[in-house]
Amino acid sequence: MTHKWKLKEKARKLRKRGWSYKEIAEKVPTHRTTLSRWCKDIKLTPEQIIARGGRYANRLKGAKANQSKREKEVKRITTEAKKEIRPLTDHEFKLAGLALYWAEGTKTSGCSVANSDPKLIRFIIEWFRKVCQVADPKLTANLYLHSGHNETSMKRYWSKLTGIPLHQFKKSFIKKEGSGHKKIDLYNGTINIRINNEDLRHKIMSWLEGIY
């Protein structure tokens, strides 16, 4: 007599291979209801479902075909869109940075931009240096981190990305657990790039007035 646990083990192995309960029942002398209970936590892959055939398999196959078609369409759109963009002229670079500062920069006190997007920060730091003629010693930064972050590692990360030396990083703001701040694990904190120059802020705001 075969032990029940051995039947269950065999049924689960066959189910993981993508067998239907009808096919398993031919090898494991057990009611399909029992097989279903034993294997209810085993999810078949889309490939296994399609291989089994049936109405659901046909729907899934159609969905995968549509997904593949959509992915090709998106690839075509992005490829064509990239062709529409050329390297920015100096004036276009100035305007692009102004638009970014308009959205993300301080307007009332000091001159700073805070964000967690590395590409955005890399762009604005280059804009400060080239367009605003800010010397590297005038650039300072501080971080907004969660309690689980390693402050030293985060400072090194942002220092390497921005080119701002570690000794020009000011005190970080650490968000404590349960403080009401939303915690996002997959990011390197938020960096605030600051230039202590009120004249520069007035200049940038005047540029912006020339736009709008």
> In three state form, how does the secondary structure of the chain look?
CCCHHHHHHHHHHHHHCCCCHHHHHHHCCCCHHHHHHHCCCCCCCHHHHHHHCCHHHHHHHHHHHHHHHHHHHHHHHHHHHHHCCCCCCHHHHHHHHHHHHHHHECCCCCEEEEECCHHHHHHHHHHHHHCCCCCHHHEEEEEEEECCCCHHHHHHHHHHHHCCCHHHECCCEEECCCCCCCCCCCCCCEEEEEECCHHHHHHHHHHHHHHC
Give the number of C-alpha atoms closer than 13 A to the C-alpha of residue 164, restricted to the C-beta side: 29
The edge-to-edge listing of strands for the beta sheet with 173-175 is: 111-115, 190-195, 139-146, 173-175
Q: pLDDT category, 53, cuts 50, 70, 90?
A: low
Average pLDDT over the chain reads 87
What 6-9 contacts at long range (C-beta under 8 Å, 24+ apart), as own/partner pairs, is 8/38
pLDDT(185) > 80: no
pLDDT at 190: 95
User: Which residues on neighbouring strands pair with residue 105, listed in sequence order?
Assistant: 113
pLDDT(135) > 90: yes
Over residues 4-33, the pLDDT tens digits come to 888 888 889 988 888 888 888 888 888 888
- Average pLDDT (46-52) is 70
Longest dimension (CA), the chain: 90
| Cα 91 to Cα 210: distance, rounded to the nearest angstrom | 14
Does this model's pTM top 0.85? My answer is: no
Cβ(108)–Cβ(146) below 8 Å: no
What percentage of the chain reaches a pLDDT higher than 90? 53
pLDDT at 108: 86
pLDDT(143) > 70: yes
| Cα 63 to Cα 55: distance, rounded to the nearest angstrom | 12
Residue of 211 and 207 predicted with greater confidence: 207
Over residues 74-127, the pLDDT tens digits come to 999 999 999 999 999 999 999 999 999 999 999 988 899 999 999 999 999 999
Give the number of C-alpha atoms closer than 13 A to the C-alpha of residue 92, restricted to the C-beta side: 5
